[in-house]
Amino acid sequence: MKLILLALLTLAPLTARHKLVVISVDGLDHRYLRDYDALGLKIPNMRRLIAEGQWAGGVVGVVPTVTWPSHTTLITGVPPRVHGILDNHRPAAEGGDYYWTVDLLKVKTLWHAARRAGLKTAAITWPVTGGADIDFNLPEYFKRRNGGAMDLDTIEAQGTKGLVEEIARAHPSFAHEWMDDRSRALATVFLMKQKRADLILLHFVDHDSEAHERGPFSREAKAVMEYTDELIGSILKAGGSEYVVALVSDHGFERIDRIVHLGQKLPGAAVEISAPLAIARDEAAAAAIRKLLGDAEAGIGREIPPEELRRFLGDSHKVHAAFEPAAHVMFGSGKGAFVTKAGGRGSHGLWPGRNDYRSVFALWGPGVKAGKIPPLEMTGIAARLAAVLDLKMPF
């Protein structure tokens, strides 16, 4: 609550409605921006955004800290348990597919409000926009993936009719097999200059894929981040003085060294194991986990305080006690070896209360009051975006 009040106090009123492009860099941990010199990062455009604009000291995420629920929170202002996008994939009982389409939303979004106000809207591989009433829509909808790239054929079939062909006439290299961050940037520049969309929601994905495979802050992940910065530079140039730019991300990132299959040391206990948490359903199970807190092999970081559980899970949660893994550890539920090597070198989906595991928020452009602001809750970002467009919440 204190973070939300601080965020509201620092909302900078804008003198007039402006056009807005929201650039989400998937997995952009706030340490990339905070520690750019120590990391040796050459990101002049992102540095410009945080030097000349409004920049938060990190963004505290929602449960779960994964792509689709977080992106929906960014444009609704409510947590997943309210907006209905509970994970990247739907429950197995519902088929287990992605939350592709807008009919799965339980609330209205920023683009709904913009449309009602008569503004032109656009989205480029933004999650949960399949079938959306968006003027210029290339939804996140794919049959095939190649790292962060998605097959253009499926996006074209699900998107605004004729839009791919229009962009390709202006940018012939756009129409290749894969929609990657380069082509996402081309589409954004087209929508800014040719369509003059009032709201553009852009989702860059390539960094997330690299950080999973090679680890966050790795040489390869930093190389993708520098390339992303070049693409952001092309968007800033296209927007000129007409667009406000919001730089956001959906979650932080952590290096993962090992998976600990904790349930093997808790036979018969009422424990639910997931990657970010070990949840005890009764006091006996909680006591059994507490006995392992000093066991380095078990990889338990801390017991989460009850008030922190309520903060992220709501008052109606039925968790008796919960424990998060130690740094660079995730929990598993395998039956073989107790400790196994992680499938990739980096991951997210961790508990949002973890120190330094934060996403980003920066706002830059006409009418924006520059300066560093306190850390934000992710649920507070939608109001800041709405203010740029002179829209009211709730949507």
Q: How far apart are CA 17 and CA 389, in angstroms?
A: 5
Q: How far apart are CA 136 and CA 377, in angstroms?
A: 29
Q: How far apart are CA 42 and CA 222, in angstroms?
A: 9
Contact indicator for 77, 260 with CB cutoff of 8 Å? no
Domain with CATH 3.40.720.10 in the chain: 2-254+353-388
CATH architecture observed for domain 2-254+353-388: 3-Layer(aba) Sandwich (3.40)
Confidence of residue 16 (pLDDT cuts 50, 70, 90): confident
pLDDT at 352 over 90: yes
pLDDT at 114 over 50: yes
pLDDT at 1 over 60: no
Confidence of residue 343 (pLDDT cuts 50, 70, 90): confident
Kind and range of the H or E run holding 225 = helix 219-239
Q: How far apart are CA 128 and CA 190, in angstroms?
A: 22
pLDDT at 6 over 70: no
**CA nearest 34: which of 12, 13, 56, 15?**
56
What does the pLDDT read at residue 84? Answer: 98
Q: How far apart are CA 139 and CA 132, in angstroms?
A: 8
The predicted-structure confidence for 64-102, as pLDDT tens digits, reads as follows: 999 999 999 999 999 999 999 999 999 999 999 999 999
Proportion of the chain above pLDDT 90, given as a percent: 94
Q: How far apart are CA 10 and CA 218, in angstroms?
A: 34
Please give the single-letter amino acid code of residue 124: I
Span 226-242, mean pLDDT?
Answer: 97
Confidence of residue 316 (pLDDT cuts 50, 70, 90): confident
**pTM (predicted TM-score):** 0.95
What does the pLDDT read at residue 37? Answer: 98
The predicted-structure confidence for 246-287, as pLDDT tens digits, reads as follows: 999 999 999 999 999 999 999 999 999 999 999 999 999 999
The predicted-structure confidence for 118-138, as pLDDT tens digits, reads as follows: 999 999 999 999 999 999 999
Confidence of residue 7 (pLDDT cuts 50, 70, 90): very low
Output the CA–CA distances (angstroms, integers) from residue 354 to 210, 252, 348, 357, in the order listed. Answer: 22, 10, 11, 6
What does the pLDDT read at residue 12? Answer: 46
**CA nearest 30: which of 379, 384, 375?**
375
The predicted-structure confidence for 39-60, as pLDDT tens digits, reads as follows: 999 999 999 999 999 999 999 9
Residue that has been written with the tokens 């909680």 in this structure: 286
What does the pLDDT read at residue 341? Answer: 94
